[in-house]
Chain A
Amino acid sequence: MATTAHEPPKIEKHGDQPQPPGNSGNGGWRNIAPANGKRPAVKDYSPPPASTGIWVVIASIAMTFAAFTSALIVRQGSALDWGHLALPPVLYLNTLVLFASSVALEVARRQVRVFFSGDNTAAAKPTLWLYVALSFGLLFVVGQYVAWRQLRSQGLFLATNPNSSFFYVLTAIHALHVLGGLGGLVRVIRRLDLSILRKSTLDATAYYWHFMDALWVYLLLLLWMKL
């Protein structure tokens, strides 16, 4: 029987002892607290899992809404019962409110950065803008509820026709995600108050919140074009 010779495994050689390669993982590297100790709350070297994780979450939500979109398009083409639905005008106002919330969060993020750099001693400011962002977010959800009430008053319910079905489903699922984001904002405020907020937590919450904006604009365009 023939025997196949295999190459010996490759051993990296760096001096007397093998060393970790330069592109090594970062589990033990980026989670280091800053050395100067001047930033008690926001750590410059925050643990990266939240930064990576938020993109994973965003990818997952994007896939969910891609599935809903394809469902809408296929359902529209499958039968002749697809009518026209006038979008409640309050939706446009809600859009502005959600944008305002994002702007407030960005202002808060800058304030937090300045605050923890030690140049600004106005401790209340970052929290104030976070509360503004939170309030606008809540207002958006209330506004969506008003839109549903307006549709109901026109006799358009969830099962009235496929247009209204998709309107309620898409806006409700988006609102649920916004509520999740509001929970994230509350967590940020609490951690900021306790001086245990990580930069990555704040950044991740901000990315999620801005993604909610982008997602809502996409949904509004989709509903406007298709319904």
Chain B
Amino acid sequence: MHDVAKHDAGVHHAPTSFIAKHVFSLDHKVIGKQYYALGLVAALVGMSLSWLMRLHLGWTNAAIPGLHLLTKNGAPGDVMTPEFYLQLMTMHATIMVFFVLTTAPFAAFGNYFLPIQVGAEDMPFPHFNMMSFWVTFVAFLVLVSSFFVGTGPTLGGWTQYAPLSALGEVGGPGEGTGVVLWALSIGIFCVGQLLGSLNFITTTLDMRTKGMSLWRLPLSAWAWFVTSCMGLTAFAVLMPACILLILDHVAGTSFFASSNIVINDQMQPHSGGSTLLWQHLFWFFGHPEVYIAIVPGMGIVSHVLITNMRKPMLSHRVLVYSMGTLAVLSYMVYGHHMFVSGMNPVSSLAFSFPTLVITIPSTIIVLIWLGSLYGAKLRINAASLFALGFISMFIAGGVSGFFLAQPSLDIMLHATYFVVGHFHLVMGVAAMFGIFAGTYFWFPKMYGRMMNETLGKVHFWLSFVGAYAIFMPFHYLGLAGNVRRYQAFSPDYMQPLIPLHKFITVAALCMGAAQLIFVYNLIHSRFWGKPASGNPWQATSLEWSTPTTPPPHNNFGDKLPEVFHDPYQYGVESSVGDYVMQASPEKVKTEHDEA
């Protein structure tokens, strides 16, 4: 241990007022919880929107009681209009991708645990850290406010393809103010993520405690570091795109709105804008965003699995290198989202190759997980089950990626439910399972109480079966030619597919209901859960070495820990059992020593 006084970066005194302690807090742990709460609320909102969409897809002309409360003109008689369906779809995707999949696994858990895992008192720039959350919160409010402004939220999809997104209200409901609010929200969100990335990178590089070399970082810390590097460059590109899009609306510029567009017999005033330009800028962010959503989950799942396997991964370093390779390659593959956008076929080929190559590090990571699990006496609990579920979803969703990586197949499948099934499994559900695994694993440290394991396991099985019941049929629908983004399936060839849509809707409602078990477990355990010990999972990393649970304001009390071991010393003989903690100076006995 060494003196805390030697640290002064990021140091701030414990707050005394309620506002400073719980609202505008500088404490990374409070900010992490705030991000988690935002992610949870956003997930419930986004899931509710998907329920409305699924109900409409199953029973197109049915009235959904109370629907008119969400929209002025989008639900006459509580029956959803086609435009309102698209608005719900856009908001569902935007909320889920930005405010759930980006905030919860990265910003929430990363904020709470990265400084502790590296042995620091806090992040180096706590004011920026606080700003990053509140900026993100404002971004969420701006986005949701579009439901109640003008003609409602934008209907252009989370990708906001131009020229539709750049034309203004003439393009449809929500394409005026709705798009401006969308772009403003995402632009603000980018600022929050850039501030967060700044803190994550500097925390990892500069705030590590004595003895904590880079290779002694747990895999979760590595994952947050890699993700923050991706976020730094990806969001820095999306933000200018949003600025230019807003200017096309409010200043009459023509960055994205092209010439000679006639709507309702009216020539639009824009000229010369490049529709492909938006796609290039958006997908340069958009594909790394997939990894921004999933890489933290990879780190969390690895961390959880190792603790429950009681042995390290087959190769710690190869796993880290693979995550880094994913990050680098993620910028080189973005064009595969644009195979059907009129891009030069040579460009398609150029983007197809790295898209196939990026499956290599993904496959290596999966093989390391599976190889490490082989022969392991895995402790079965809610956290480890969700970690296994993550791997299952990642593989199931990833396999369909092989098909979509090839332009010749993608041209057929791109606009169908096949793609919807692919990205929901590999990016959406897998990342959600990563969040759940992290929640069940770290909840005892965050709140000092255990979550109910039985409810956790029930939650897992219902979610696991539910996810496959929803998203595997999507692949079949896509192969059958079911076009995505349609609000109703009137063509003859799609009529026979409607019963399957009804089944999916029922499955979605059931899986959604299963999440209420999780919410109940979360709230009940927070106040009435069994008190947790300081290290209930017999884990080794520094978050389990804090003097109190939850950790004190400065994480480690008067003395910062000193690190003596690699992060995952399991399967050894020590005074505490089959593991030795990173901060323990104890010299452990190994089989090698005995020999």
Contacts and interface: CB of A to CB of B under 8 A. Distances in A.
Interface of A: 2-4, 6, 8-13, 16-21, 23-32, 47-50, 52-53, 56-57, 59-61, 63-64, 66-68, 70-71, 74-75, 78-82, 158-159, 162, 165, 169, 173
Interface residues on B, range: 35 or more
22 contacts: A8-B590, A9-B571, A16-B587, A17-B587, A20-B563, A21-B211, A25-B210, A26-B206, A28-B6, A47-B8, A47-B124, A53-B198, A53-B202, A61-B236, A63-B236, A67-B284, A78-B273, A81-B254, A158-B247, A158-B253, A169-B244, A169-B247
A67 B253 contact: no
B509 interface: no
Interface in B208-259: 208-214, 216, 232-233, 236-237, 239-241, 243-244, 247, 251-255, 258-259
- With a 10 A CB-CB cut-off, give which of A25, A80, A162 has the most chain B CB atoms: A25
Nearest to B591: A8
B232 A56 contact: yes
Interface stretch (B275-283, B425-433, B487-495): B275-283
Contacts of A67: 236-237, 240-241, 281, 284
Nearest to B314: A6
A71 B281 contact: yes
B10 interface: yes
Nearest to B212: A25
B127 to A, nearest CB: 12
A157 B336 CA distance: 37
Nearest to B284: A67
Nearest to B563: A20
A20 B273 contact: no
B125 A53 contact: yes
Contact of A75 (B7, B8, B210, B255): B255
B237 A52 contact: no
A28 B207 CA distance: 7
Given A11-B580, A47-B9, A71-B240, 7 more contacts: A27-B119, A49-B10, A52-B206, A53-B198, A78-B273, A79-B271, A169-B244
B9 A24 contact: no
B66 interface: no
A188 B272 CA distance: 46
B201 A56 contact: yes
B246 to A, nearest CB: 11
A159 B198 contact: no
Contacts of A173: 240, 243
A47 B592 CA distance: 41
Contacts, number: 214
A84 to B, nearest CB: 15
Contact of A27 (B209, B565, B569, B592): B209
A124 B206 CA distance: 33
A59 B233 contact: yes
Nearest to A53: B202
A53 B204 CA distance: 11
A191 B590 CA distance: 53
Interface of B: 2, 6-10, 118-120, 124-125, 194, 197-198, 201-203, 205-214, 216, 232-233, 236-237, 239-241, 243-244, 247, 251-255, 258-259, 271-274, 276-277, 280-281, 284, 311-312, 314, 374-375, 560, 562-566, 568-572, 580, 585, 587-588, 590-592
Contacts of B197: 56, 60
Given A52-B206, A53-B125, A70-B280, A78 B272 contact: yes
A205 B137 CA distance: 29
Contacts of A8: 571-572, 590-592
A64 B236 contact: yes
A187 B110 CA distance: 29
Contacts of B208: 24-27
A3 B376 CA distance: 9
A169 B243 contact: yes
Contacts of A16: 587
B7 A27 contact: yes
Contact of B213 (A24, A49, A75, A162): A24
Given A28-B2, A60-B233, A78-B274, A18 B253 contact: no
A11 B565 contact: yes
Contacts of A68: 240
B224 to A, nearest CB: 14
Contacts of A82: 272
B375 A3 contact: yes
A155 to B, nearest CB: 15
Contacts of A12: 564-566
B526 to A, nearest CB: 31
A60 B7 contact: no
Contact of A23 (B119, B213, B232): B213
Contacts of A6: 311, 314, 375, 571
Contacts of A165: 247, 253-255
Nearest to A75: B274
A10 B237 contact: no
A3 to B, nearest CB: 5
Nearest to A74: B277
Nearest to B241: A67
A31 B8 contact: yes
Contacts of A70: 280-281
A151 B212 CA distance: 56
Which residue, B202, B209, B251, B590, has most C-beta atoms of chain A within 10 A? B202
A75 B9 contact: no
B564 A162 contact: no
B271 A81 contact: yes
A18 B205 CA distance: 23
A11 B237 contact: no
Contacts of B119: 25, 27
